[in-house]
Amino acid sequence: MTAMPSAQHYVRLSGEEFRSRLREALDIYVEAMRYPPGTAEQRAPMWLTHVLREGWRSVAALDDEGRLVGIAYGYRGKPGQWWHEQVRRGVVEREGEQTAATWLDDYFELTEIHVRPGAQGRGTGEDLLRMLLDGVPDSRVLLSTPEGDSRAWKLYRRVGFDDVLRQYRFTGDPRPFAVLGRALPLE
């Protein structure tokens, strides 16, 4: 793994800025998640659609030459969105309607958070997460992450995310996922 310069500063991205950095952001995503190269082309239209959703916001970590080192974004979750319906199905099946309503009535979906592998482990992920969630008006934040021992897990536990669903299978993905959540604002 190539060592990367640490993030020098953080910026909020407008939709336009996000679009212009889409390629760079997808490169980080593919590298950080160790997905096959074609994944970027597949995901691009979806990431662009997300920009148009209510409550969408994004933060970026940049190095001293202005290159992207990390990216995070999310938006307000709502009925009818694929992820919302998948999570709702799981929570209703396992915990019932009441619990589903508690988690899913007013939440921000943390959709993506990725740091270039060579720049991980220096606090950039936590900085991105805190900046992204700062000022979010929703009362909870939810995310999904593959089950397993990872930096992502350590980060989410460290900032107080609890289990909403464990060992959950999203339609079309054979991997088990966890859905995690916590109340907002963060301390």
Q: Tell whether residue 155 is a contact of ligand COA (CB under 6 A).
A: yes
| Continuous segment of H or E residues that includes residue 22 | helix 22-33
Q: Are 55 and 73 in contact (CB under 8 A)?
A: no
Q: Are 108 and 78 in contact (CB under 8 A)?
A: no
Q: Measured from the CB of residue 123, what is the shortest distance to ligand COA in angstroms?
A: 3
Q: Tell whether residue 166 is a contact of ligand COA (CB under 6 A).
A: no
| Continuous segment of H or E residues that includes residue 124 | helix 124-133
Q: Tell whether residue 40 is a contact of ligand COA (CB under 6 A).
A: no
Which range of residues in 39-47, 92-100, 111-119, 133-141 is near ligand COA by CB under 6 A? 111-119
Q: Tell whether residue 151 is a contact of ligand COA (CB under 6 A).
A: yes
How many residues bind ligand COA (CB under 6 A)? The answer is 18
Q: Tell whether residue 152 is a contact of ligand COA (CB under 6 A).
A: yes
Amino acid at 141: V
Q: Which of 83, 64, 85, 87 has its CA nearest to residue 74?
A: 83
Query: Which residues does the annotation mark as catalytic?
Result: 156
Q: Which of 118, 121, 160, 185 binds ligand COA (CB under 6 A)?
A: 121
